[in-house]
Amino acid sequence: MKKIILFFIVIVLSITSVFAKINWVTDMQMAKAMALAENKLLVIDFWAIWCGPCSKMDSEFWSTDKVKDFENNMIFLKVDIDTETQLAQKYGVRGIPYVVVADVAENKIWENVGYNGPSSFSEIFNSIPANVESVNKVASPFLKDTDSDVDYINMGKAYTDLAQDIENSELKSKFFNMSNRMYKKARKGDYSDEAELRILLNKAYRGHTKKLMKKVNKIKVTPENKELRNFVINYIQNN
């Protein structure tokens, strides 16, 4: 009788484990196609079969019911660094497990090396936007390697919009940082004034309004930047 009970316990635990596991994708191009079609971000787990902390993370975090729920918001990609060496090099993997949150253009938003328990990952994943259509709409030039200054501006604006709705302070900061990275790339070309104004606006959105007005006033008013410049000034004055 005890053997029968034990048998059923093993079966139940096995079934629970199977259903708790998330559906990993193992091909980057497929993961990007899914992320683009479903307007989701990528979560990339760089691992290796010989990695002890990776196995611990699999059992304590990746295989739990809570992570299964995250599939509604993200596409999960599993990358074996021993077989996908070029991809590991591209992402600058220096230690594993190495977990990255990235967009469909493979811009790294958030990263973590090592595993010290599930709590920090859960906090981040809980705050990841469920829909990143605004980013995907402007991602095409980046996917085709035809991106220009205006594309950097558009991508920066998309990240700013998403950042404002994120509650987790760490992730909010990462989204604003990504926005600024895009604006800084556009700052070198014809959109330099707009890029600079939007960087200052991001600072204002984050509550860093001290001395911003002086920086705004240093930017010469032009027909192209007048509306944005006035918006930035009004926001600073009222916040």
pLDDT at 5 over 60: no
Query: Is 51 tagged catalytic?
Result: yes
Average pLDDT (43-61) is: 96
Per-residue model confidence (pLDDT) at position 190: 85
Asked if the peptide bond before residue 97 counts as cis, ω within 30 degrees of 0, the response is yes
SS3 readout for 72-83:
CCEEEEEEECCC
CB 23 within 8 Å of CB 71: yes
Residue 228 is a catalytic residue: no
Pairing of strands 41-47, 98-102: antiparallel
* DSSP assignment string, 99-141: EEEE-TT--EEEEEES-S-SHHHHHHHHHS-S--HHHHHT-HH
Residue 196: the pLDDT is 96
Mean local confidence (pLDDT), 120-145: 93
What tokens does 170 get? 């760490």
- CA quadruple 157, 160, 166, 172: dihedral positive or negative? positive
* Fold assignment, 21-130: Glutaredoxin (3.40.30)
Kindly give the pairing relationship between strand 74-80 and strand 98-102.
unpaired
Catalytic residue among 41, 44, 51, 104: 51
Catalytic residue among 43, 44, 54, 101: 54
Mean pLDDT of 234-239: 92
Domain ranges in the chain?
A: 21-130, 135-237
Mean pLDDT of all residues in the chain? Answer: 89
Q: Quote the tokens at residue 9.
A: 């316990």
| Whole-number Å distance between alpha carbons of 147 and 138 | 10
Each residue's pLDDT tens digit, 95-108: 999 999 999 999 99
pTM of the predicted model over 0.85: yes
Residue where the block lists tokens 């010290």: 116
Quick one: pLDDT at residue 6? Answer: 41
